Structure 1
Amino acid sequence: MLKTIFVSSVLAVSCAMSFAQTPEQKGLDIAVESDKRDQGFDDSMVSLRMVLIDSKGTESPRKLRIKALEGEGEEGDKSLMIFDTPIDQKGVAMLTYTHKTKADDQWLYLPALKRVKKISSKNKSGPFVGSEFAFEDISAQEVEKYKYKYLRDETYDGKDCFVVERYPTDRYSGYTKQVAWIDKEGYRPLKIDFYDRKDSLLKTLENKEYKKYLDKYWRPNISFMRNHQTGKATRLEYKDYEFKVGLNNKEFTKNSLKRAK
């Protein structure tokens, strides 16, 4: 009888150990779940006010619109950003093709030069139109773009969160790692710390005032990126989200950049 109990106990411990997650597997599972909860939106449109804030607190606003098309299979999402103001940037447009396992494709249209410029993979860490967001920050964050490691549970902004470290697989990324606070209720990224190539804290992104659309898709009303090394910041204010509006691939081509309105 005692032997039976002992054997059963050993088997139970052994099974528990075999099913125990490593920090890497748990981190990946959290990322996969977060991505899964955002699938099926098809397409979306949103108006955006981008405010550049210098180290003295002076604000410089601009307005733009973003269209997005959900990817299929191995391809990631596509997005088109169109600037309406200020006047010297009106018509500037950015097209992004996100890929799950290879470098993203990005093109920038500059109406003053009447030309479409391909953004080199080596320059993805550069600032996007003078903001504290890099070109790589505005691409869809596909799960396959990173390796993951769960660090701990922690409360942030009054919400229970997973804290997950993720490491870009792109050798041209401007970051060695990112640390993300993902809330357990909605699997939404509330905060992300970005570390530069010297492994020093570079920037922090905070996503605030989330709202649920179509009873499923969470989107922040405000995203605030602060650069700790320069004292500059960029605030994004989202307005009038629309989903499933009938966008298609024809609206996300290099030719569409020139006629984006």
Structure 2
Amino acid sequence: MKQLFIAAIASLALPALAMTAEEIMQHVDQVPEPESVKSSMSMVLVDNKGKKRVRTMQSLRADIDGTSKTLMFFLEPNDVKGTGFLMFDYEAAEQDDDQWMFLPSLKKVKRIASGDKTGSFMGSDFSYADMSKRNLEEWTFKILKEGSVNGTDVWVIESVPANQDVIEKTGYVRSIAFVRKDNFHVVRGINYLKKKGEVKLMNIAKHTEIGGYWIGTETQMITQKYGKTVHRTLMKIDVQDVDFDADAAQFTLNRLEQGL
């Protein structure tokens, strides 16, 4: 009986041990998220001399007709105040996400072209492509090893673009994600850029439980060249409300053009 009991326990543990990299990343993709989120945000930009610049924003995100839509306006400093960002993050892998910026000085909306999404988002270490959720179909995955981050067991998963188009769209030739085994949250990432010797290191330093969801509320992105830090950004999110009835009219080009 004891042997049967041990065998039964072993069989229960087997699926977790036998998970493929693709299955792990599917679980990551399916981590529950709020249907809508209202938040205030800040980005602290730090150059290689330690000089800091702070940007503050207000943000709305909601799932509208099966598409994740985000509207963001910058509040500070004055030189970027009123700048707006609208994004439609489509579920289908074959459909490129749409992104637009509103430039108050020109009173003009500019669409972010696919070839420009590897550029810096408002001077930060995050790119426009980083603002969108990755489509799993565009990447191939491999478990490199198992390890721990801050005492928590993780899988270390390698992601490689499926084709050259994905490299051009994201700017990355290879990524490594550290995925917690207990909840499938990504807590750390390494992104290798097209430019030789350039790497972006991501660290999600804090997850906060809000409305029953675990949300990453402090994320640092560090840009390095040949192992030397050249710039870094700390993004903090203060979630104010979740799962409210979102107004679809808030996520349109007309609303973006209205500004703050």
Q: TM-score, normalised by structure 2?
A: 0.84
Structure 2 residue 232 is matched with structure 1 residue 238: no
Q: Which residue of 2 aligns with 1:130?
A: 123
Q: Which residue of 2 aligns with 1:148?
A: 141
Q: Which residue of 1 aligns with 2:208?
A: 211
Structure 2: any 5+ residue segments left out of the alignment?
1-10
**2:129 maps to amino acid:** E
Kindly tell me: are residues 236 and 115 of structure 1, through their superposed partners in 2, closer, same or farther at Cα, counting changes over 3 Å?
same
Q: Which residue of 2 aligns with 1:32?
A: 26
Higher strand share: 2
CA distance, structure 1, for counterparts of residue 196 and residue 153 of structure 2 = 27
Question: Which one of 65, 80, 83 corresponds to residue 92 of structure 1?
Answer: 83
Counterparts of residues 58-69 of structure 1 (less than 5 Å): 58-69=51-62
RMSD: 2.3
Kindly tell me: are residues 47 and 144 of structure 1, through their superposed partners in 2, closer, same or farther at Cα, counting changes over 3 Å?
farther
Shift of 1:171: 4.3
CA distance, structure 2, for counterparts of residue 129 and residue 174 of structure 1 = 17
Percent identity over the alignment? 27
Structure 2 residue 153 is matched with structure 1 residue 195: no
Q: Which residue of 2 aligns with 1:221?
A: 217
CA distance, structure 2, for counterparts of residue 193 and residue 254 of structure 1 = 34
Deviation string 1:165-185 (CA, Å, 9 cap, x unpaired) is 123452422001210001111
Greater shift after overlay, 76-85 or 142-151?
142-151
**2:218 maps to amino acid:** I
Structure 1: any 5+ residue segments left out of the alignment?
1-15
Contact (CA 8 Å) 2:26, 2:136: kept in 1 or not?
A: yes
**2:243 maps to amino acid:** K
Q: TM-score, normalised by structure 1?
A: 0.84
3-state secondary structure, aligned to 2:171: coil
CA distance, structure 2, for counterparts of residue 71 and residue 192 of structure 1 = 29
Greater shift after overlay, 219-228 or 194-203?
194-203
Q: Which residue of 2 aligns with 1:256?
A: 255
Kindly tell me: are residues 139 and 44 of structure 1, through their superposed partners in 2, closer, same or farther at Cα, counting changes over 3 Å?
same
Contact (CA 8 Å) 2:146, 2:155: kept in 1 or not?
A: yes
Question: Which one of 151, 154, 169 corresponds to residue 158 of structure 1?
Answer: 151
Contact (CA 8 Å) 2:104, 2:259: kept in 1 or not?
A: no
